[in-house]
Structure 1
Amino acid sequence: MLGYIWQYVYTSFLRYWLKWLIRQATGKCELQRICSECKPGATRTAKAALETSKDNLEQCVDQIMKEKNVKPQKDPQFKASLHICLLQITGYSSLYVSVEDLRKEVFSSDNPEHEAMLLKLWDLLMPSVKLESRITKQWGDIGFQGDDPKTDFRGMGLLGLINLVFFSENYTVEARQVLSHANHPKLGYSYAIVGINLTEMAYSLLKSGALKPHFYNTIQGTPELQHFHQLYCYLAYEFDKFWVAEEPESIMHFNQYREKFHTIVKTHLQEPDASLTLTVSSKN
Structure 2
Amino acid sequence: MATKTIKRRLHHGDGDERRNEYLEVSGSDTTDEPLLREYDRVASHPEGENERRHLQSIQNNKKESICWSRIFSLLCTRCADWIANICSASCELLARLISLPSSSQNKFSNEKVPMLLSSLQEERLRNLRQRLEVPFDGSRLDHQDALKQLWRLAFPHRELPPLKSELWKEMGWQGPDPSTDFRSAGFISLENLIFLAEKYPQSFQRLLHKQDGKRSEWEYPFAAAGVNVSFMLTQMLGLKSGTTFSRTGARFIELLEADEMAFDNLYCVAFQLLDSKWVSMHASYMEFNEVLKSTRTQLEHELGLKDISRVEDLPAYSVLNR
- TM-score tier after normalising by the smaller chain length: 0.5 to 0.7
Q: Which residue of 2 aligns with 1:6?
A: none
Structure 1 segment 168-187 matched on structure 2, within 5 A:
168-181=197-210, 186=217
Q: Deviations over 1:196-224 (max 9, x none)?
A: 111012212322441433553x56x4542
Residues of 2 paired with 1:182 and 1:145: CA distance? Answer: 20
Q: Does 1:154 align with 2:189?
A: no
| Residue ranges of structure 2 left out of the alignment (5+ in a row) | 1-113, 239-244
Shift of the 161–251 alpha-carbon distance from structure 1 to 2, 3 Å rule, reads same
Structure 1 segment 49-68 matched on structure 2, within 5 A:
51=116, 54=119
| TM-score normalised per structure 1 | 0.61
Shift of the 151–180 alpha-carbon distance from structure 1 to 2, 3 Å rule, reads same
| CA RMSD between the two structures | 2.6
Shift of the 95–204 alpha-carbon distance from structure 1 to 2, 3 Å rule, reads farther
Residues of 2 paired with 1:172 and 1:242: CA distance? Answer: 20
Structure 1 segment 130-279 matched on structure 2, within 5 A:
130-181=159-210, 186=217, 188-207=219-238, 208-209=245-246, 210-214=248-252, 216=254, 221-224=257-260, 226-248=261-283, 250-274=284-308, 276-277=311-312, 278-279=317-318
**Displacement, 1:98?**
2.3
Shift of the 135–262 alpha-carbon distance from structure 1 to 2, 3 Å rule, reads same
Higher relative contact order (CA 8 A, sep 6+): 1
Question: How many percent of aligned residue pairs carry the same amino acid?
Answer: 25
Aligned-partner residue type, residue 95 of structure 1? R
| TM-score normalised per structure 2 | 0.54
Q: How many residues align?
A: 194
Matched position secondary structure for 1:162: helix
Residues of 2 paired with 1:190 and 1:202: CA distance? Answer: 18
Residues of 2 paired with 1:182 and 1:197: CA distance? Answer: 20
From the two aligned structures, give the one with the greater strand fraction: 2
Q: Deviations over 1:34-67 (max 9, x none)?
A: xxxxxxxxxxxxxxx863662xxxxxxxxxxxxx
Q: Report if the CA contact (8 A) 2:203-2:321 is conserved.
A: no
Q: Report if the CA contact (8 A) 1:182-1:190 is conserved.
A: no
**Displacement, 1:154?**
1.4
Q: Does 1:110 align with 2:139?
A: yes
Matched position secondary structure for 2:173: coil
Aligned-partner residue type, residue 111 of structure 1? R
Aligned-partner residue type, residue 233 of structure 1? C
Residues of 2 paired with 1:273 and 1:106: CA distance? Answer: 35
> Rg larger in 1 or in 2?
2
Shift of the 271–194 alpha-carbon distance from structure 1 to 2, 3 Å rule, reads same
**Displacement, 1:100?**
2.5
| Residue ranges of structure 1 left out of the alignment (5+ in a row) | 1-48, 55-86
Matched position secondary structure for 1:174: helix
**Displacement, 1:110?**
2.5
